[in-house]
Chain A
């Protein structure tokens, strides 16, 4: 163990340093200038995100508890970009509503801690590290969900999140202990060698899967999603639906493709059923939603169902398509949440009905939201189409044509509710449309980045090729 081996944990250490710097800054920045903590946090995290793109060695630390490779590193960078965009989009909200309650720096500290947890979770080489990461990534978010303490609904969402996530991590811990009981090891590399399909390991796998499914909000572990999204501050709802979900998808993929590989013939059937249930329930519930946040909550459940199609493939192609889809999903969903955040901050309106006539007053915001929704719906030439097409290709490559067919039925259903929002913005004039307003600079940068991502990630093919080359790391 020497200094250079710590460089493998560069991302984690850097983020930890940022958290500590923010704690120190909180002490030294005078009360009247507390707003500057937002700029400081953005600046530090921006540098962190950029430095992240430098190469990192592939190796493991602490006897295999912590490991990293190019794919994991790339995925951390993807999450960094997502968080950076999210911070840009919520900077105005923090400045206006949070800093004057004197809890600006805590927001960043909690958010970064949760991100740190996700880092550890996806870098985990054994179940202990995985569990620590899982907990670290969840607990700070529950505090953040209840961050608007003056609103009853926000506290409610915090309570809901912590109760159900405590149950979920308890369940997955139980599952882990069963796997440990039957294999005698918590290291991924050792578990996979002795894992066989006995009743105990199967039960362990199912319980472990249930715990992670909760974070991805797969059916039937999705009940918390809509309520929590609705109550939580928008930036936290978007964190839950994008960053936290993305990280959980990634670790699920690692566990299934590597540790639980010997049980592939069993989890394939399980995921088959869950994918269908998740797509249908997410989509059908989204049809009748009136609130934009609840609407996006169910939409994000449905999207998780599509992601499972890529996981069904179970090897390199599946890995590549899932990572690619998550990357695109981050940009698309953040664009949608960004627009909702901008409008909510200016006017406090969050219902779909309030968006009627938006195009005639705020054409740019409407176009951004339309692009985001088209990307989520999977309409070319925006990126979401490519992401979805490749996921379906991955599933079809293993001959799951029926599953692909059910998925495309769901794409059509989902198109209906995405078009409902487009209809409100473009087709209707509205009695009381949201008046014209200008966004501040951070929000604008945040939205422009997402739009660029939505437009380019699909058409510009080298990105997919790059991910595909990295994806052999898992197999």
Chain B
């Protein structure tokens, strides 16, 4: 078994074992064991990758290629570069943290963990796929468990939110299917065979008319899950209704599929289309950045605040990807990672606060710093990271993005950048506002004086997410090293 296929086989095995568990205790132990091993493998993969690229100059390494449907030239084809390695590690950490946070999942625990792990199979598979078909399969596998996860274990208008989220994301993936077929049937433009292989298609000069037609289709297909304005509306509803671990996984990992797909498929395979269309999508994404931030100011539900903040932060990822230069791309990847840890941490904390106070309404909360100091302190840290304070991951990412964006001397891009930058100020407003009302001040409800202490598993979950935020913030260079080399092949098409 090769090192990458294990990322799919192991969760499948975990699911198979989970089927035979009888109660919450067994289920969570199995899920914990599975995701611990998975994290171990992910960390091992970093070192294996760094060692491998010293001797191997290929764009993707650890490639495993098996013919699947030979008449369509569909392969089970996997491999990684620095970007996917980083995202795999993110996934492994968030899944593990999610298992810790769901330690007390009383209702149908077995089914919950199965759905959670199935979702992670889709995500792992997506990040390691080189074949467009395989990638698409994993993409849909990652989306569909969300329906059950939100619908069964969610709160509030869970049925509505689950349906809305699933239909919007599956609708987007259906559009994406058209884009993929368009790319596939033009992959023989240079006289070769039709292929779904991304690395092969990247070498082909697809005619400009085709690129112009299929770039927006492919871009939107992926960007909906990356919360591109105006297709972001599934995200706040979905996050607000989802159970804690699902919000974490969803915002932390699943939404990264959008940016990754846009980068790996739309921009990499259709670079001329990207150059042609970037002005239009820059408007949308820059507007999304501002819009998300302003929307977050007016919300009173903690989850809605964080969901809109995700729209804003991920808009920045798409914005940076469309800048089509290396610095901005580096920033986009860093922002994906940073946002993944940060937002998962936020949702974990919100889940803990909600579990204790039974409200997510900011105006009803107050003085939490005095009663649950650990959670509150971490909330402050996460908030500071989110608004881009130096020393945390958010700063490194946003710095790269804006420097990269300014590298374009076109006045049009400059204006877009200035608009996007101004969102940082607004971010500070909504973060500090929540911190001020909810954490500071007097305790405004006597019931809050006897809140439950933080449990060990909650602490573990939090620390797991907090460490990478600080690690990236303090020492970003080793991570950039992992990513930067992998960006070169992408540049070839857009220069």
Contacts and interface: CB of A to CB of B under 8 A. Distances in A.
Do A and B make up one complex? yes
Interface of A: 320, 374, 379-381, 385, 389-390, 392-393, 396-397, 399, 401, 404-405, 408-409, 411-412, 415-416, 419, 422-423, 426-427, 461, 464-465, 468
Contact of A397 (B163, B170, B185): B185
Nearest to A370: B148
A396 B163 contact: no
Interface in B136-152: 137-138, 140-141, 144, 147-148, 151-152
Given A416-B167, A422-B147, A464-B71, A427 B178 contact: no
Given A389-B177, A427-B158, A412 B170 contact: yes
B361 interface: no
Contacts of B162: 427
B105 interface: no
A320 B69 CA distance: 13
Contacts of A468: 71
Contacts of B69: 461, 464-465
A393 B72 CA distance: 9
Given A401-B182, A408-B175, A412-B170, 19 more contacts: A374-B144, A380-B138, A381-B137, A385-B137, A390-B72, A392-B181, A393-B181, A396-B178, A396-B182, A397-B185, A401-B178, A404-B181, A405-B175, A415-B166, A416-B167, A423-B159, A423-B163, A461-B69, A465-B70
29 contacts: A320-B71, A374-B144, A380-B138, A390-B72, A393-B72, A393-B181, A396-B184, A396-B185, A399-B185, A401-B178, A404-B177, A404-B178, A405-B178, A408-B174, A408-B175, A411-B170, A412-B167, A412-B171, A412-B174, A419-B147, A422-B147, A427-B148, A427-B158, A427-B159, A461-B68, A461-B69, A461-B70, A464-B69, A465-B69
Contact of A411 (B138, B152, B174): B174
Contacts, number: 81
Q: Which 5 A-B pairs have the closest CB atoms?
A: A408-B174, A412-B171, A396-B181, A427-B151, A380-B137
A42 to B, nearest CB: 31
Interface of B is mostly: helix
Which of B151, B162, B175, B181 is the most central at the interface, judged by chain A CB atoms within 10 Å of its CB? B181
B163 to A, nearest CB: 6
Given A381-B137, A461-B69, A423 B177 contact: no
A380 B134 CA distance: 10
A464 B68 CA distance: 10
Interface of B: 68-72, 74, 133, 137-138, 140-141, 144, 147-148, 151-152, 158-159, 162-163, 166-167, 170-171, 174-175, 177-178, 181-182, 184-185
Residue of A397, A408, A465 with highest tally of chain B CB at under 10 A: A408
Contacts of A379: 140, 144, 170
Contacts of A427: 148, 151-152, 158-159, 162
A408 B176 CA distance: 9
Contact of B151 (A381, A399, A416, A423): A423
Contacts of B166: 415, 419
Given A397-B185, A412-B170, A427-B151, A380 B175 contact: no
A406 B464 CA distance: 45
Contacts of B133: 389
A381 B174 contact: no
A423 to B, nearest CB: 6
B394 to A, nearest CB: 35
A374 B163 CA distance: 15
Nearest to B67: A461
B389 to A, nearest CB: 41
Contacts of A392: 177, 181
Contacts of A389: 133, 177
B141 A380 contact: yes
B174 A385 contact: no
A412 B167 CA distance: 6
A393 B187 CA distance: 14
